[in-house]
Structure 1
């Protein structure tokens, strides 16, 4: 296809994102040559100006959109050229078009489509009359006299009404196809419209009570209400429409064409009304609905992403043996005892609850397991029978069992336990036992365990089933990828599920790593990855820096220093009279930290002939080899006693953990059966637009009880005390 239109996409991207064109150019070249976002962000800082993952992804998305926009502009230009309607005016309009929608508006006159009323009227020869009327050219003859000249029974124009109706169709089509007018009307509709809902199906009405007779400006309605309205419409309970002032819209059209109250005005008025009400507004209404949904989904996805990031970055529970319980009534509570590294030590089943009620044996089995394996912590899933199991554990603690407990979300545990991955990990175990293992491991190392589960199943957010699944999956996958690369992955213990999130590593690569490890033992160096079948130089380059090994043979593998920078890292250590293996000795490491602080960063970078950002990263890594960035995050809350709703009164203060955050507030766990609501209005004395401004999942907060609804088992909190 000929390039009718050319655009400097790099310059446009740099301008829109407020970045340097040279940095944008580098990012695009790196992406186009197969480099991953995490690799670029971490190891190509000199080229990108130290852009982070989000900025690089913004460039990736913007470049993709502008490339598609430019391609579409040239397709429209070619379509116009085919029918000899490509002009300098059209070219100028295409160049100025900023969105795909504007380009589609310009394409309307050349679009191959089903024959319209206007097309049929033109075929009957009514175009000259329509043009005369539309141009409002003064004529000595009145409109009916002009129409008489076009009566032709062979063409189906039997009378004046047929002729005027055809002319009206042509004018309405021209009004509808006017891209500039559509732009003006679009701006008006988007600025002044309301979204309106009314009850459609009374049988299913109760949960949509707030939307029986609902009306709100499209520019003020919050995202979660849009998603609620959409769901009500999809369930055929609500009827939703967009309303705006038709009179003002018609006035815009009158002013645009300078319609006058002359002899042609009645026909022009009919054509205007038909064009706006039947052709233009319905498509603008769809645009508004799509826009609102898009914005609501964007906010929902951002909420999910922020929540998921906080969930994944919960600190691991280092050096603790865990007894995990997957609670149940009839089928019994399944127990999995896990070593400090998550290895399964023993399993059991107990039946302390109805209908079996074998409490004595349940106490005996649990106590013996705790003593036998020197268990440090009991972890209880928060699903069915969780509260009853908590009471069972607390009673054991009160009777002398020296152990603490905590409750964790078991969201997604059942999904994992029945998955192919779980069957591969524990082929001989029952599904429910696999669930208990997942519950225990997600407190020992949340990131390593939760990556095995579809992020949508982790229960962090709202309306996950009402938004674009493709969009949600992409965003959540990016969050997992960023978390994995921020923390790093232990090459010798990582599961295949975790390895697949590492830069450049495919599912096949991950499986081959597991097989190689099984056949050859632990990796001793990063370079050994090149011996793995299918692990070529490009994959190695992308992945190596994010994989960790604690090995004498490759001391720098304990750090995020990339193998391509090993020589520079060794030179830095040599300058202060140390060798690479010294960073694995904690006593010597203290000395290295003191001496490395004295180095001049810029001078060191110049001597090494590398950039300052990379030099800075190397020095930081040498000071803190093996550091887990999750260490700074708040840990889980351990308990030895139970809280009951009937004991809670307004005014009491508790330390709780944020479990979930949504647009209107956060849900906080203080140890009750159900989480309490901390509404956004109770978070601050100042106006707060977004709960994420002050809270994150996993955060420990001190809350005061605002209200207790014991009948409905609901509790609300405040931070304002």
Structure 2
């Protein structure tokens, strides 16, 4: 007897509704060490054009299935060593669909600490437990009296009977089908109940002081809120179920039965009342507490997964915010007592100047600050002022708005999220980048650069610190980190990286590049000058053939020797690309020559894709990607998104009138709605019910972080500084993902 290795590709194809051949190809490519971005972009013919998300699901599912199989083999071995394996048990192990089912099967065979049932077995009461289930007719206590033994420590018939019932109760509790039944009934019929540990204590959890909701309906964010309240010992959370109904179902399963099929019915004997009590004991003492823990774990896992999905979606949108290119930017890190730190950076992000001003309370040196800031604007030709949205942000905004009205040149400002800027500023990386600056000055630089190129700057920060999650500190940190790293890697590779300007932080997220190799690339560039072509990358220490293959297509060289090096076309397709150009009557130089752009574009758009792909000996997906790259060489997909909302004046909450329509930027999306920056100190909330004129399943179906939207003021709470917004009845003319 042995456990058969399942057909992983078949299982994955069925669960993800893809062809088995696609699953097999993806598994093979992953096992060969190819990265997901590389497979998704450059192995489309092999996988049938599976995208990154599908490939990620395949990778995760494959790992889960392999772990399950490994545990199957271990359980099989452990039970076999006990000489308790049977064909039926082997089949059950082989067919277990998840770890929970497998552990239920193994439960009766797992070595146990001392239990009431194990003590009863040591006293020789197992035959009595069997008699109760198989015969049970006659005087039960008289039968139990046969097991009285001073030597074994059984003093009375009642003691013997209780021991036998303890054995039966443990058997009921250890039965895999019984546990599955209770788990399913609990999830189907149960409710989660939350009560205050002390109702006189004020807290943010007051909505949960007297709260109850069916397990099948409670949304993920409420589960995480209750969990947090419980951890902080403010709430007491439990699962409530119809106990009598569950026990009745357990009795139907566990009590002795005779006959088969339609004639199968419960056998009532003199032992039945005793067995019924044992079933109640099994449920209340052994099954219910364990199943409640399991159900809470299932709910938490689902809630955590949803929180991670929301965070991941928000993070991707944040990373892919459009860059503001060709602008000299002044970054301002606002503060009260310590003053506003100012950094001016040029179009490439190079630091031109650093200063500190005190326009905010308690110093209020407004005139002095005005001279300093106006001087820096004139000296460096500042185009945009980026103000961090932290402490003293709105006072600083008021100062800037008043100042730019007095300036001769046209200048605008924008509020930039500074979430995580302080984390970066205090990091080892920031210390290496700006060793002679203090933390706040580094933060001002980071704020300015975030506007110029959000992706390049945000990759320097731990993704958990960028401020677009919900309950991110309450979820599995390992799982969160894995998912967020995947999102950052995906975002970086979808945009591509300019090899001659990218930091080591940005390069470390490129497909196939480790942090060490990324540093080596930067060191090589600094020592030898700019890379002229992609082939030079092979000379970088520790960058082997596999790393080159996986990374090179995502690395761009602007104004290099080969115009194809500034496209996502992989060098393995260069020959096919050159052949394509020659067939259309163009030389390679046409790719970067603005004079030939229109003629090349026209020729590319009139291609017969199927015929051309066949003639070139490549797949249609690869040809399609080559054509797209040639149509827009050097394209940055982020530039097709709407720019940030630039402002010239301050909006105060007192200015708001119900019904007023404003333009705002979505800052965060959560399960219950979206927070929109309309220029106030606090973001306004668009509740999920106000996002659209139709039913919205989840806010992420309608809006995404960075979207520029039109909102109507629905309600204003001046005391709490809260604004409720609505998007109903407003035609959205700006980008909504």
Partner of 2:72: 73
User: SS at the partner of 2:685?
Assistant: strand
Q: Distance in 1 between matches of 2:714 and 2:7?
A: 57
Question: Stretches of 4+ moved more than 4 A in 1?
Answer: 202-205, 258-261
| CA distance in 2: counterparts of 1:712 and 1:204, whole angstroms | 20
Partner residue in 1 for 2:155: 158
Q: Which residue of 1 aligns with 2:572?
A: 564
1:463-502 pair list within 5 angstroms: 463-502=471-510
Cα distance in structure 2, aligned partners of 1:223 and 1:268: 40
Q: Secondary structure at the match of 1:155?
A: coil
- Structure 1 residue 383 and structure 2 residue 390: aligned? yes
Q: 2:558 aligns with which of 550, 571, 575?
A: 550
Deviates more, 1:550-559 or 1:491-500: 550-559
Per the alignment, residue 327 of structure 1 pairs with 334
User: Is the counterpart of residue 358 in structure 1 residue 357 in structure 2?
Assistant: no
Matched with 1:603 is 611
Cα deviation digits, residues 493-550 of structure 1 (max 9, x gap)? 0011100000111111011111111101100111101111111111100100000001
User: Which one is further off, 585-594 or 112-121?
Assistant: 112-121
- 1:231 and 2:238 aligned: no
Q: Deviation at 1:260? A: 4.5
Question: Matched residue of 1:453: which SS?
Answer: coil
CA distance in 1, matches of 2:561, 2:431: 35
Q: Are the aligned partners of 1:525 and 1:551 in contact in 2 as well (CA < 8 Å)?
A: no
Aligned pairs for 1:377-526 within 5 A? 377-401=384-408, 402-526=410-534
Find out whether 1:663 has 2:671 as its counterpart.
Answer: yes
CA contact (8 A) 1:644 1:672 kept: yes
- Counterparts of residues 657-696 of structure 1 (less than 5 Å): 657-696=665-704
Whether contact under 8 Å (2:531, 2:560) holds in the other structure is no
Uncovered stretches (5+) of structure 2, i.e. residues with no partner: 258-265, 730-737
Q: CA deviation at 1:575?
A: 0.8
Q: CA–CA distance in 1 between the matches of 2:81 and 2:407?
A: 88
Return the alpha-carbon distance in structure 2 between the equivalents of residues 317 and 400 of structure 1: 22
Distance 2:231 2:93 in 1: 37
CA distance in 2, matches of 1:87, 1:424: 64
For residue 334 of structure 1, give the secondary structure of its aligned residue in structure 2. strand
Aligned counterpart, 1:590 = 598
C-alpha separation in 1, matches of 2:558 and 2:10: 45
Whole-angstrom CA distance in 1 between matches of 2:200 and 2:346: 54
Deviations for 1:619-661, whole angstroms, at most 9, x for unmatched residues? 1111111011011212101111111111111111111111111
What's 2:207 paired with?
Answer: 210
Q: What is the CA–CA distance in structure 2 between the aligned matches of 1:488 and 1:293, rounded to whole Å?
A: 36
Please give the TM-score of this superposition, normalised by the length of structure 1.
0.98
* Range moving further from structure 2, 560-569 or 88-97: 88-97
Q: Which runs of 5+ in 1 are unaligned?
A: none
- State the aligned residue count: 718
How far did residue 31 of structure 1 move? 1.0
Aligned pair 1:243/2:246, yes or no? no
Q: Which of 194, 208, 216 in structure 2 is aligned with 1:219?
A: 216
CA distance in structure 2 between the aligned counterparts of 1:204 and 1:230, rounded to whole angstroms: 18
> SS in structure 1 opposite 2:50?
coil
Tell me the equivalent position of 2:320: 313
Q: Any residues of structure 2 matched to 1:709-720 within 5 Å, and which?
A: 709-720=717-728
1:368 aligns with 2:368: no
Secondary structure of 2:582's counterpart equals helix
Q: CA deviation at 1:598?
A: 1.8
> SS at the partner of 1:317?
coil
Aligned to 1:191: 188
Distance 1:386 1:144 in 2: 81
Q: Secondary structure at the match of 2:39?
A: helix
C-alpha separation in 2, matches of 1:632 and 1:202:
53
1:275 Cα offset (Å): 1.0
Match of 2:653 in 1: 645
Residues 150-182 of structure 1: CA distance to partner in whole angstroms, max 9, x if unpaired?
A: 110110111011100110111011111111222
- Aligned partner of 1:121 in structure 2 is 120
Q: Deviations over 1:66-100 (max 9, x none)?
A: 11111111211111111211111111211221111
Match for residue 711 of structure 2?
A: 703
Match of 1:277 among 272, 284, 290: 284
Asked whether the 8 Å contact 2:414–2:644 carries over to 1, the reply is: yes
Per-residue deviation, 1:680 = 1.1
**Structure 1 position 202, deviation (Å):** 4.4
Pair 1:289 & 2:286 matched: no
Asked if the contact 1:5–1:91 (Cα under 8 Å) also holds between the matched residues in 2, the reply is: no
Q: Does 1:82 align with 2:81?
A: yes
Note the C-alpha offset of 1:185: 1.8
Measured in 2, the distance between the counterparts of 1:668 and 1:6 equals: 51
Are the aligned partners of 1:4 and 1:78 in contact in 2 as well (CA < 8 Å)?
Answer: no
Deviation at 1:578, TM superposition (A): 1.3
Structure 1 residue 462 displacement after superposition = 1.5
Check conservation: 2:68, 2:99, Cα contact below 8 A. yes
Asked whether the 8 Å contact 2:136–2:271 carries over to 1, the reply is: no
